[in-house]
Structure 1
Amino acid sequence: MSKDNWKRFQQIFLNKEALMQKFNQLAELRNSIRHSRSADDIVRKEGEASIIWFKKSMKQ
């Protein structure tokens, strides 16, 4: 995420590294689903946790 974009989201997500980690976890789950690959339990749970994290972050 570029510095210009981060400035827009910093107040919502607070930590850029955590945001990027959650995006990566969500992307891994999304790619497994989109490309008809099986997602193991860890990928699925991390993806689900990322969704919860995004929802919680955006409610604040």
Structure 2
Amino acid sequence: MTIHPEGWRKSSRSGQRTSCVEVGRVADGAAVRDTKDRSAGYFTTTGTQWTTFIDAVKSNRFD
């Protein structure tokens, strides 16, 4: 099965920088790719994995 992410978005906090990631929607989760090298592909996560990651970012777990 081929997954086709839709609605790619870059964070508004990235401004005009090019060293960022973009997030796209997939049926049950998210897809992530590098804005500098979109042709390199992307990886996908499940909805649970994505929610866990976002919660960790918001709670400063990676600081």
More strand per residue: 2
Q: Bigger relative contact order, structure 1 or 2, given CA contacts below 8 A and separation 6+?
A: 1
